[in-house]
Amino acid sequence: MNALALHYHPLSSYCQKVLIALDELGIDVDRRMLNLGDAAERSAFLALWPTGKMPLLIDGARAVPETTIIIEHLQRHHAAAGRALIPSDLDQALDVRLWDRLFDQYVMTPMQAFTADLLRAEPDRDPLIVAKARKDLVAAYAWLDKRLDGRTWVAGDAFTMADCAAAPALFYAVTYVPFANEHRHLAAYFARLMDRPSVARAIDHAKPWFKFFPNRQALDRRFYDPAT
C-alpha cells in the first residue's frame, strides 16, 4: 500500500490544486475520495483532521493539511528527480508563494462565495455577499491581466505552485464572472492553463461530478454538456 494517501473530492477546487501539483511533481498517491455527507465517513475524517477541510494528505503517521503546505511537503519529500513547483532561489520562491496566496485569497475565495450562496435555500441567499464577490473578482481580473502582460506563467517562465492555484480558481470563477474584452492577457493565460496536461487531467477526473456544481449551466461545453 502506498504510504501517501490523499483524502479529497475531484469536484473541489482546492483538491484540484493538489491533484495538479501531484501530476506535475510525478508523485503517486492512494486517492481516497471523501463523502462528507456520510456520517460515519465524516466522523472518521474529523478524527484525522478536526477542521474537516479537504484535501488532507497522510504521509505515514503525519497528517498534512492546507493545499500550499501539502504541495511544499510533497516537493520537499516526494517529488520525482528534476520536478519542482517552488524554485530553489529564495526570492523567486517568495514570488511563487505570493501569487499562490493571491489566487487563493482573491480568486478562490470570492468564487466560493458565489457557490456557497447558490447552495443556500432561496430565502437565505444574500445579494450583498454576491455583489461583493463579483466586485472582488472584477478587481482581481484587472490586476492579474496587468501582471500577465508578457508572461507565460504568473510567477515567471516556469509553471509553479501559483499556477496550480490559478487553474481551478479561474475555472470556476469564470462561470460567475466571465472575463471582459480588456482581460486579453488573463484570457490567454487561462487558455494555456486549460491546455496544460496536468490541468486537463484534473478537470477530466472531475467531469462525472460537474452535474453537482451549482453553476453547472455556465460551464464551458467542452467540459460539461447539460444535454448529456
Interacting residues of 31 by C-beta distance below 8 A, sequence separation 6+: 5, 6, 8
Q: Give the model's pLDDT for residue 1.
A: 46
Cell of 182: 480588456
Query: CA–CA separation, 210 vs 55, rounded Å?
Result: 18
Query: CA–CA separation, 210 vs 60, rounded Å?
Result: 32
Q: Give the model's pLDDT for residue 226.
A: 83
Which residue has 508563494 as its cell numbers?
97
Per-residue pLDDT tens, the chain, 228 aa: give them: 468 999 999 999 999 999 999 999 999 999 999 998 899 999 999 999 999 999 999 999 999 999 999 999 999 999 999 999 999 999 999 999 999 999 999 999 999 999 999 999 999 999 999 999 999 999 999 999 999 999 999 998 999 999 999 999 999 999 999 999 999 999 999 999 999 999 999 999 999 999 999 999 999 999 998 887
Task: Please give the DSSP secondary-structure letter assigned to residue 4.
Answer: E
Q: What angle do CA 97, 101, 102 make, to 5 degrees?
A: 115
pTM of the model: 0.96
Q: Give the model's pLDDT for residue 227.
A: 80
DSSP string, 122-184: GGG--HHHHHHHHHHHHHHHHHHHHHTTT-SBTTBSS--HHHHHHHHHHHHHHHHSPPPTT-H
Q: How far is CA 73 from CA 11, 18, 62, 81, 114, in A?
A: 23, 11, 11, 15, 31
CATH code for the domain defined by 90-197: 1.20.1050.10
Number of H helices, E strands in the chain: 9, 4
Q: Give the model's pLDDT for residue 82.
A: 96
Q: Which one, of 22, 1, 127, lies nearest residue 64 by Cα?
A: 22
